[in-house]
Amino acid sequence: MHTLNQWLRKHVRAVYSPYRELLTSLHVLMNPEHHLTRLNWAQDVLQTMTPEMYELLLFFGKVTDDWFFVMDCEEAFGFENRFVEDSIEKWNCIDERTFTQFILGPRYALDHGQLNRDEREILRRPKKYRRAFYRFLYSYHTTFFAREVYHIEPWLIRSVNEFNDGIQKDPVGTLSAVHPRFIVGDHSIQFLKARTYTYDYDDLNSIRIVPSTFIAPHLLIDVDSPDIIVAKQLFIPASEKQDGVPKDLLDKLKALSDPTRLQMVQLMLYNPYCTQQLAEQIGLAKATVSKHLRILEESGLIESQRSSHYVFYETKARELEMVRVDMDQFFDRPKLDKGENN
């Protein structure tokens, strides 16, 4: 334990990153009802956002996996810059190829035919979209985020200082308190998400903890081995703490609560089916199957694709996997709230 404490004191620290907080706020705006602690803020922003800015928010959000791809490359933009404008300005300076790699993330390596229309358009006209992206970030920051970061910055910096003090006094206890599903072991750390991520201390250079008022309810980690970034949930005094279940999680649970729909989701997880095939497989009328399919599609658990005059349905494996993750996040909330109050 003595050796572990020494390693943690040397390699673990909290940092303040307003640029990371800006990107996380954009992620929240993509699905406000999933982020209850920021729901009121998000609704206020979206109500006053211009249609043009909202269209760009959705466009870039969809091609960047709800802004996660942009978070993955944050080191290139001055992750620890004190001023957001300095990080945003770097988007105006990178070359067009780098821009498309950052925006499309791992999808950049796919064949052209595997990309959707928006992704292909970005590859075709990268200069146009780089300029639009830069202007969007700058406009969003000056119109909305600058005011919010002025309000939350003192609490974020206080959280950084308290964490860094804690790491020196009680390294294991302080790091373990970051999240209930962040496990600090004798020889490795583990993150319990849809699958378990394990990293040996011998393979790591650093662990940086980034307090965030927007990250709840996620356990968000960025792994650029041998350096790891972990977001730490921070509730600010007088902030909006709303009880209840996120609407997207509730919709999925309702869709899965029916035994017929649950069976259909299982079938479509491994093979696509059209309506008449499902009706024959399950033994129900086509009209009844169509009703169940509509509920599943509205919940986001399945997707459809037309082939000639048939429409085939298939379970979205990632969305099904995320139900378990969202359940974990929901049940984590009392522990996280308790940790904030201690």
What are the E-state strand segments in 161-282? 182-184, 188-192, 196-200, 206-212, 221-224, 227-233, 273-274
pLDDT at 341 over 70: no
pLDDT band at 239 (very low <50, low <70, confident <90, very high): low
Alpha carbons 87 and 9: distance in angstroms, whole number: 29
Separation of alpha carbons 22 and 42, rounded Å: 13
**1 vs 328, more confident:** 328
Tell me which residue of 330, 342, 262 sits closest to 302, measured CA to CA: 262
Asked whether the predicted pLDDT for residue 55 surpasses 80, the reply is: yes
Residue 58: partners with Cβ closer than 8 Å, 6 or more residues away: 30
Distance CA 68, CA 291 (A): 34
> Roughly how many angstroms between the first and final C-alpha of the chain, as a whole number?
24
Alpha-carbon 333 to chain mean position: 17
Distance CA 171, CA 179 (A): 14
Task: Compute the distance between CA of residue 6 and CA of residue 20 in angstroms, rounded to an integer.
Answer: 28
Q: Render pLDDT for 264-287 as a digit per residue (tens, 0 to 9).
A: 999 999 999 999 999 999 999 999
Structure tokens belonging to residue 101? 């790699």
Among 127, 156, 130, 122, which residue's Cα sits nearest to residue 22? 156
**What pLDDT does residue 308 have?**
86
Lowest mean pLDDT segment, chosen from 10-19, 232-241, 291-300, 319-328: 232-241
Amino acid identity of residue 84, one-letter, is V
Residue where the block lists tokens 């059209």? 274
Q: Which residues of 103-136 are buried (b: 16+ CB within 10 A; e: fewer)?
A: bbbeebeeeeeebeeebeebbeebeebbeebbeb
- pLDDT band of residue 75 (cuts 50, 70, 90) is confident
DSSP at 236: P
Question: What predicted TM-score, i.e. pTM, was given to this entire model?
Answer: 0.78
The first and second tokens of residue 337, run together, are 């709230």
Is the model's pLDDT at 319 over the cut of 90?
Answer: no
